[in-house]
Amino acid sequence: MFDSYLLYVRIQCPFCVRSVAELQERGTEYKIIEIDDCPEGFISQLKDAYNHDTFPMIMGYDDTYESYSWIGGYSDLIESFDE
């Protein structure tokens, strides 16, 4: 489990809403970046960088290493809690 999370989300995305609700339920720290108003070029680069076409895009932050690690989407987030 990570110390905090960073989520790239779309406002109306049901899996984005579920991800935020899950983190809130667990009392976990997180930051949200809403990408609805971002230029399409930025969104394309984000998708290409992580080879992930859907939202949310979630990363976990590790305080010890002071770095983010790629998690994936909602189902990957849920699976990461079981690890």
Q: In a structure prediction context, what are the per-residue pLDDT tens digits for the chain, which is 83 residues long?
A: 899 999 999 999 999 999 999 999 999 999 999 999 999 999 999 999 999 999 999 999 999 999 999 999 999 999 999 87
Dihedrals φ, ψ of 64, to 5°?
-60, -45
Domains and CATH numbers, the chain: 4-63 (3.40.30.10)
For the whole model, what pTM was predicted? 0.91
Judged by DSSP in three states, 32 sits in strand
Whether residue 4 contacts residue 64, with contact meaning beta carbons closer than 8 Å, is answered with: no
Q: What is the 3-state secondary structure (H, E, C) of 14-82?
A: HHHHHHHHHHHHHCCEEEEEECCCCCHHHHHHHHHHHCCCCCCEEEEEECCCCEEEEEECHHHHHHHHC
Query: What tokens were used for 23?
Result: 């983190």
Dihedrals φ, ψ of 71, to 5°?
-110, -55
